[in-house]
Amino acid sequence: MSRPLAVSMARFKSLLVTVPSAWAAGERFHNAKWIAMVTAAPDADKRGRFDRLILYGTDTLDPRSDVFGACFRRAAATSDKNGKPISGFR
């Protein structure tokens, strides 16, 4: 596993533990809190990327071609959103 992927997986696993524990303790999750948790990892423009991916749908995830193993390869594709083409993968 590559270092960036390992860091991302560790962050994801920490969210999988943190969120249910907080819910069980009665905490409420509003948009600002969720964004703060997701963007806490040190990386340039995490908040902007979150907004583009989740809130506005104007960005596309770009995993390495081999990230899901040898059986899955990404192929470039163009989708349409509100009459505008969006480059991505299938």
So what's the pLDDT on residue 68?
74
DSSP letters along the chain, please? Answer: --HHHHHHHHHHHHHHHHHHHHHHTT----HHHHHHHHT-SS-TTHHHHHIIIIIS--------TTTT-TT----EEEEEETTEEEEEE-
* pLDDT surpasses 60 at 1: no
Indicate if 38 and 18 belong to the same structural domain.
Answer: yes
Chain segment 28-55, per-residue pLDDT in tens: 877 787 777 777 765 667 778 878 888 8
Q: Give CA–CA dist 81/84, Å, rounded.
A: 5
Q: Which domain holds residue 52?
A: 1-59
Residues 73, 33 within the same domain? no
Is the same domain home to 8 and 18?
yes
Q: Is the pLDDT of residue 5 over 60?
A: no
Please count the structural domains in the chain.
2
Whether residues 47 and 81 fall in one domain: no
Whether residue 39 sits in one domain with residue 4 = yes
Query: Do 54 and 66 share a domain, yes or no?
Result: no
Asked whether residue 49 falls in the same domain as residue 81, the answer is: no
